[in-house]
Amino acid sequence: MLKLNKLFQNIKTEIKKSQKKEELEKIRIKYLGKKGILTSYIKSLKNLSFEDKKKHSISINTIKKEIMININKQYEILNNILLNQRIEKEKIDISLPGRRVKNGSLHPITYTINYIKNFFSRIGFQSISSPEIEDEYHNFDALNIPKNHPARDSHDTFWFDKNRLLRTQTSSMQIRIMKKEKPPIRFIFPGKVYRNDYDHTHTPMFHQIEGLIIEKNINFSNLKWIIYSFLYDFFGNQISIQFRPSYFPFTTPSAEVDIINSRGKSLEVLGCGMVHPKILNNANINSNIYSACAFGLGIERITMLRYEISDIRYFFENDIKFLEQFKYN
């Protein structure tokens, strides 16, 4: 036991002198491991009497516990030393002014498109993208636009050749979806369109969203409810809305929708109407069974009205001062 107590004192000294965790681990293995010194002491007790074996095993186990306690204490001391060294090394001067990160936000056009898509999604519309390069059939012929219509002229439309062009409206996707899907149909088609025009209210490229519903017994009252619901949601319930008769080659009857501002002035925001039976029949949809309504609106137009922007070109000039005004939650 004297020899064992002396060994214990030596072990404690070794533990105190250790400066690294690796050294502590070596000490633990050296004395407490499977082939450690204290383990060999326990194995040597097999030749003693029962009483001596019991007495010495208790003493050895007590010493083992004490060694582990000392090792753990030294671990804690070394951890604190390392932590303090790291704190000193990585210390931050909190007196320095903060570095502000300027977070970006969605472009107002992108935000408006997402807003509209979310609204129509809530009332059962699917949103689908469509090709920006169209052919004459889908962009004009299938939409009942006659050959002599001014929109077909090169000074109004960007043509690649005699058949291909940059689409002038998202209405062309109506034909494609009617050929692909079977009624009932309820879709919106957001995307870019192109027209040869440029001033404070027109740009060569702008955005439209077209909506299409094909169902049995759908009528103009259903279309009006959708338009009213959307405009009240987008502009607020305080606005006044009026429908006035209009003409579009692909709808009959047709209407343009205005909102009335606080000065009593009417501002057009979209066009709509019942899809022409000829267009339904051309897409192999029986117009005697199904009826359809459609609407189309310019994203830039309603965004300008909502935020009282006077010039459409602001959207595309990448003026940071202009864009920073638009922050969304």
What is residue 159's DSSP assignment?
A: B
| 82 and 112 together in one domain | no
What is residue 125's DSSP assignment?
A: P
| 66 and 201 together in one domain | no
pLDDT digits (tens, 9 = 90+) for 288-328: 999 999 999 999 989 988 888 888 888 888 888 888 888 76
Residue 97 placed within a domain: no
Q: How far apart are CA 6 and CA 207, in angstroms?
A: 89
| 50 and 154 together in one domain | no
Residue 250 placed within a domain: yes
Residue 98 has pLDDT above 80, yes or no: no
Residue 156 placed within a domain: yes
Residue 103 placed within a domain: no
Q: 0.75 cut: is pTM over it? A: no
Give the model's pLDDT for residue 100: 77
Residue 225 placed within a domain: yes
Pair 60, 75: CB distance under 8 Å: no
| 84 and 223 together in one domain | no
| 71 and 196 together in one domain | no
Averaged pLDDT, 177-194 = 90
| 49 and 114 together in one domain | no
Q: Nearest CA to 214 among 259, 245, 181, 241?
A: 181
Contacts of 326 (CB under 8 A, 6+ apart): 105, 106, 107, 108, 111, 307
β-bridge mates for residue 199, sequence order: 202
Query: Which pLDDT band holds residue 255 (cuts at 50, 70, 90)?
Result: very high
What is residue 238's DSSP assignment?
A: T
| 82 and 135 together in one domain | no
| 71 and 149 together in one domain | no
Residue 47 placed within a domain: yes
Provide the CATH number for the domain around residue 294. Answer: 3.30.930.10
Residue 260 has pLDDT above 70, yes or no: yes
| 116 and 77 together in one domain | no
Q: What are phi and psi of 71, to 5 degrees?
A: -65, -45
- The one-letter amino acid at 242: Q
Q: Which residue has the tokens 């995307």?
A: 191
Domains: count for the chain = 2
Q: Nearest CA to 270 among 287, 291, 293?
A: 293
In terms of DSSP bridges, do strands 126-127 and 185-194 run parallel, antiparallel, or are they unpaired? parallel
Give the model's pLDDT for residue 328: 66
| 124 and 237 together in one domain | yes
Residue 329 placed within a domain: no
Residue 100 placed within a domain: no
> Can you give the residue range of the structural domain that contains 82?
2-89
**Measuring CA to CA, how many Å separate 94 from each of 89, 97, 98, 104, 226?**
15, 8, 9, 27, 57
| Total Cβ atoms within 10 A of residue 156 | 13
Helix (H, G, I), strand (E, B) or coil at 103: coil
